[in-house]
Amino acid sequence: MKTAKSLVQSALKVFNLRLVRRSGFDRLVGVLDGRVAEAGWLVRDIPAWFEPVVGESAVCLALRDLIRPGDVCFDVGAFDGALTQVMARATGPRGLVCSFEANTEMLPKLTNNCAANTLSNVHLVHAAVWHTTGEWVTMMIPKNSPMAAEVNGTIDPDSPETTETAIPTLALDDFSARYGLFPNVVKMDIEGAEPHALNGFREWLARGKPHLVLEQRVEDFRAVNIVRELGYDAFDANSYEDIHTPSDFPAGSFVRNVVCIHRDRLAETAYANRQPRKLMRENLGADMDRPNSTTYEMHLRLPAGRYVAEFEASADPESTLSFEVLHDRAVRAKCCIAASWLLPNARDLAFHVHREGPATIRIVHVNGPRMRVERLKLFAVPGVTPAAGLGMVM
């Protein structure tokens, strides 16, 4: 027979909530938008609709730069819905976001997060976005890391830690034709299957020339090559450096995000007058402010504009590091993850200042063996002019 506690935990799971212990016992109090007063919390896995999404800040910035009110947008590889939320807020009440997710382990979380945040302009689709419609592919889902699920065969199917699931395929051109929905902006992060998805989207890529934000595995350049053949130019979403070949990515990186704009449409975007980034400031780690033994900070006052903060550090690969930017009364960009991933792939953090004011760039050693910051650089990216006039309210 189930105990009262197990019944409560089962109920919480239905609504994608989890119980957090404090003071040695569980306290349940009235839920207000998935949050509870300071005595204890019931929390969801993405920010509430009224809170800023600060993870994957470079992708968030690109989506906000490119999405116009009323746009149809596709989120291909929606995961938990955090970026779906960014897109839904950017396109607004007259727009629509179609969010595609193949991973069966993520569907309850994605569904509940969208419902909890009242994303009424989101349409969810369960399918493996592919070059054809109506086939079945095998998705391999690591039991301890469902976010790393793949359909392109790079995970060992014989591992006892992997679950195999058959997923129906869908080509984006077929979906667009069936529903008459043709996106202006597409975000795509499907763990190496991007070339397959783009090959099933060639008709609208050639005709509509939508803006693209793609996750890119550095060793597999097929996705960028596909869109370059169709007239697109690409730049790194974090560094704002142009990408022509894999060697243009930062040395040592293995996963990056790229923004792809068709040359015929560049003039209508925030990047029409983008110029090479310029070094504004450089501090050695030894010269940075140290509010405590685990934190390095740079304090400065910045005019409105687009910026990239970049740091060099040494840390144990298993350590957890947090790289964040604070301005306009809150954290506006953040990456918090193991050093083994952050240092090669996310050592540069893009952010935007909407109005002149103080800013803090902070690097925190969250846990694990010690970290040492060698240097921190700040670059300005001249000529990036977002059209949004609502500041942080979107």
Can you tell me the mean pLDDT for 77-88? 96
pLDDT at 127 over 70: yes
- Asked if residue 141 lies in contact with residue 165, where contact means CB atoms within 8 angstroms, the answer is yes
266 C-beta neighbours (distance < 10 Å), count: 15
Asked whether residue 11 carries a pLDDT value surpassing 90, the answer given is: no
Residue found by looking up tokens 């590889």 in the block: 77
Q: What is the pLDDT of residue 328?
A: 86
Fold held by 57-268: Rossmann fold (3.40.50)
Instruction: State pTM to two decimals.
Output: 0.86
Tell whether the model's pLDDT for residue 13 goes beyond 80: no
The number of helix segments (H) and strand segments (E) in the chain equals 9, 20
Residue 43 vs residue 114, higher pLDDT: 114
Query: Residue 393 pLDDT > 70, yes or no?
Result: no
pLDDT, tens digit, for every residue of 230-246?
999 999 999 999 999 99
d(CA 259, CA 62): 7
Rounded CA-CA distance 69/92 in Å is 6
| pLDDT per residue as tens digits for the range 281-328 | 999 999 999 999 999 999 999 999 999 999 999 999 999 999 999 998
Summarised one tens digit per residue, pLDDT across range 29-56 is: 333 333 333 333 334 678 888 888 999 9
Mean pLDDT of the chain: 87
CATH topology of domain 278-381: Jelly Rolls (2.60.120)
Binned at pLDDT 50, 70 and 90, residue 336 comes out as very high
Q: Which sequence spans correspond to the domains of the chain? A: 4-43, 57-268, 278-381
Q: What is the mean pLDDT of residues 184-208?
A: 96
Residue 70 is given by DSSP the state T
Same fold? 57-268, 278-381: no
